[in-house]
Amino acid sequence: MPDRTGTIGDLLPAVLARYYDAIDGNRFVEAAATFGRHARYAVAEPGVVETAPRAETVGATALEERLTDRGPQPWHHVVQLCVVDGEDVLLEGVLVDPDGEDCASFVASARIGAGGRLDRYLGFSCPGAREPIPVAVAGETAPADAAAVVRGYFQDLDRGRFAQAAAHFSEDVLYSHPPYLHTGIDDPDRIEFRGRRALEAAFERRGATSFGHEVVTSIQRGAHCLFEGAVHDLPDGGTGSFISSLSLDGAGRIRRYVTFYCEPAVPLSP
């Protein structure tokens, strides 16, 4: 069970703290009130596959109705990593069941608007808690520029340079990915690869693809980084959204990489 005493990175903004406290306490009117009048709330309905389209709700009034209709859920949120840059917030955490056990992992991308209310909230989750965020590489000094590492990784991956793509990861990497779509891997479950050799083999099996990745928001604190991105040029003009959490080792390679994905993409603006 992860440490519940603190959050890695930045302090959770007050409006998000109020949101999680209210929704976990089944105070849906209060939870919806943390959102602006035209806010976009994009979270999958309970029970669907994790890559399914987000169920989108626009506006605090509609969100209150949605949460009320959905009703109480048997878990509460524990934020483990939070990074903030101006109005943008990205975070990773776990959902904890009534027995105190971690039952799922989640990530979210939020934007705080005028008046301190939420303008946008995009959330993902998957069953089961992922391996804990490593804290061995600590402190404010970053081992490398995570955005540059990710940029190099996506360039190599999207161009089919699989050995080079895997070289951005440590020898003992944990790479956790939702079920692949539009690739040579058709496993319907979340896939986890451990170690660079296994990851390179998975990239080879995944094969060359026609689509590409674009990072739209990236925030780093020390060895840890969260970023949101979009996938474009999918078959039939499709798009996707993703949020990824990574931690670098002391050499600046990715030691832990956990990503979440859905189709179609969720717009950035409310």
33-70 burial, b at 16+ Cβ within 10 Å, e below that, comes to: bbbbeebbbbbbeeeeebbebbeebebbeebbebbeee
Q: Is 215 exposed, middle or buried (0-12, 13-18, 19+ CB in 10 A)?
A: middle
CA separation (Å) from 182 to 199, 207, 208, 239? 18, 10, 10, 12
Last residue of a domain, one of 127, 157, 191: 127
CA 38, 73, 242, 92: dihedral to nearest 10 degrees?
100
Q: Is 226 helix (H, G, I), strand (E, B) or coil?
A: strand
Question: Would you say 176 and 246 are in contact if contact means Cβ atoms under 8 Å apart?
Answer: no
Is residue 136 domain-resident?
no
Last residue of a domain, one of 69, 92, 127: 127
Segments forming the whole domain that contains residue 97: 8-127
| Same domain? 122 vs 167 | no
- Tens-digit pLDDT profile for the chain (270 aa)? 233 446 899 999 999 999 999 999 999 999 999 999 999 999 998 889 999 999 999 999 999 999 999 999 999 999 999 999 999 999 999 999 999 999 999 999 999 998 999 999 999 999 999 999 998 665 567 899 999 999 999 999 989 999 999 999 999 999 999 988 878 887 888 999 999 999 999 999 888 887 889 999 999 999 999 999 999 988 888 999 999 999 999 999 999 999 999 999 999 876
Domain count, the chain: 2
Task: State the Cα–Cα distance between residues 234 and 166, nearest whole angstrom.
Answer: 23
| Same domain? 156 vs 121 | no
